[in-house]
Amino acid sequence: MTRMMLTVLIVGGALLTAAARAQEPTLESAPPVVVKTVPEAGAAEVDASTTEIQVTFSKRMQDGSWSWSTVSQESFPETTGTPRYDDDRRTCVLPVKLQPGKTYALWINSQNFHNFKDTSGQPAVPYLLVFKTRG
C-alpha cells in the first residue's frame, strides 16, 4: 500500500467517524417516547372505575397538542373531558369512563396523527396502549 493510499484511508475513516458522531442521538435531539402509562400497557385487571388514562413522556411536551388516536371506535374509551397536561408537561391526562370486562386499545400518536410533540415541535414515537378492565 502506498503512502498516499494509507493517508486517504486514514482521513476517510476519520471523516466517517466524525459524521457518525454528529448523528448520534442525544437526549435533546431524540424524539420523545412514552416512558409510563396508567393503566399500564398489557394490564388485564384494570379497575373499571378508573377515570383517567395517563401517559408520561421522556421530555416536556407542547401544551394543547395531542393525538389520542383510535384503533377502532369499539376499543376507544368514552371520554368525559378535554385532555390536559400536568404541571410538569410530561404527563398527559385523558378523562374517561370505562366499562367492565372490556379491552381498550388506543394509539398515542400514530402513523397518521402526530400531535404529541415536544417543546421543539418534534413528534413523539407512536405508542400502542392496550389494557383490559376486569369484569
pLDDT digits (tens, 9 = 90+) for 67-124: 999 999 999 999 999 999 999 999 999 999 999 999 999 999 999 999 999 999 999 9
- 57: cell is 413522556
Cβ atoms of 108 and 125 closer than 8 Å: no
Residues 19 and 42 in one domain: no
Residues 56 and 77 in one domain: yes
Count of domains for the chain: 2
Residue matched to cell numbers 394543547: 64
Q: What is the pLDDT of residue 6?
A: 41
Residue matched to cell numbers 442525544: 26
Residues in the chain: 135
Question: What average pLDDT is seen over the chain?
Answer: 89
The dihedral sign for the CA sequence 112, 113, 119, 124:
negative
Percent of the chain whose predicted confidence (pLDDT) is above 70: 84
- 11: cell is 482521513
Residues 12 and 55 in one domain: no
User: 81 lies in which domain range?
Assistant: 31-132
Mean pLDDT computed over 3-31: 62
Residues 13 and 79 in one domain: no
Cβ atoms of 90 and 127 closer than 8 Å: no
Of 63 and 6, which is predicted with more confidence? 63
